[in-house]
A = this chain, B = another copy of it.
């Protein structure tokens, strides 16, 4: 069993999710490697110290370059706001470290192009954390599609609906700041759906979008904390929202399929309502992450009197099943999804394979994202550049 040392940059919710995955992954999958949580970097010493204690890192720092400069560290895990990804990822790659980076990979395709160039030159492994494709039910959808079980794909209809910022008094997270985030709902959650569309259907060739900012000002937060949703601060100072609250786009895929995507964080009653429905010539698939143990599938070759959408609960017989729990319905949570993601990352490193999804996908999705914003601005069909 090999040991690899990890340096993590960032200390909030995603740091927890990744740290859990690092601790848990050898209990679930046999990748031949154990991760040592070596150093965590956060915006100041106190935050970093607290995060180290909580998440189990041996060292902490308020200077992320300490991690880059430490030759003992094998892996850099970037869970900071988006505007910091480029500098950090490039530095990590140039230092020869494998990288896992939260999504979106950058604020725009210019940034992601630069990142991609460097990591490819450096020859390190790189993964972008579009974790939802790691849900076993999504991996099962991919398997059915590849086996031809639903035939040629006709269309894709995706949504990602949340309500943590539906209340105009919910705080001004950095996620509402274009300088930091690049875009709003589109980059934050819309990109997850784009990744699924790209993964399950094919490359996206053209888009045609509307964006809207429903709440123009929100109460500011102290520092750059990222309190989501219903945690209301008493702060009466308001700051400007500079990104989209909602995006709807039409999609044309390179394989001829068509589709649509809607993402909004102003959908009361929806929380992590990441759904897709795909209709093919021989069947259909439906998935809703809020009920993520389940994949719904309809096969046209069932007899007329017994055809219908079937609810398959993922378990041992499905992707990643051997490593997870012994029966379906014990439950896939956010933990399990992040554990699978970490497993795939480590497996790619140990077997010297390309990560899925790598920064290539991170960059490609950035190109599509840029095209969506351009389309929304120009109000016309826009080709995704390559």
CB distance from A338 to the nearest CB of B (A): 10
Query: Is B264 within 8 A of A279, CB to CB?
Result: yes
The stretch of A75-83, A196-204, A207-215 in contact with B is: A207-215
Each complex incorporates copies of this chain amounting to: 4
Query: Is A270 within 8 A of B250, CB to CB?
Result: no
Query: Is B308 within 8 A of A1, CB to CB?
Result: no
Q: Is A23 an interface residue (CB 8 A)?
A: yes
Query: Is B380 within 8 A of A326, CB to CB?
Result: no
Tell whether A318 pairs with B305 under 8 Å between CB atoms, given A13-B325, A159-B157, A259-B248: yes
How far apart sit A161 and B284, CA to CA, in the bound complex (Å)?
12
Query: Is A311 within 8 A of B308, CB to CB?
Result: yes
Query: Is B246 within 8 A of A154, CB to CB?
Result: yes
How far apart sit A356 and B330, CA to CA, in the bound complex (Å)?
21
Q: Is A231 an interface residue (CB 8 A)?
A: yes
CB distance from A328 to the nearest CB of B (A): 4
A interface with B by C-beta (< 8 Å): 1, 13, 16-17, 19-20, 23-24, 26-28, 30, 53-56, 140, 143-144, 149-150, 154-155, 157, 159, 161-162, 164, 166-168, 208, 210, 212, 214, 227-231, 246, 248, 250, 252, 258-260, 262, 264, 266-273, 277, 279-284, 289-293, 296-300, 302, 304-313, 315-318, 325-337, 339, 379-381
Sort A-B residue pairs by CB-CB distance and give the 4 closest, nearest first. Answer: A333-B333, A269-B298, A272-B329, A271-B329
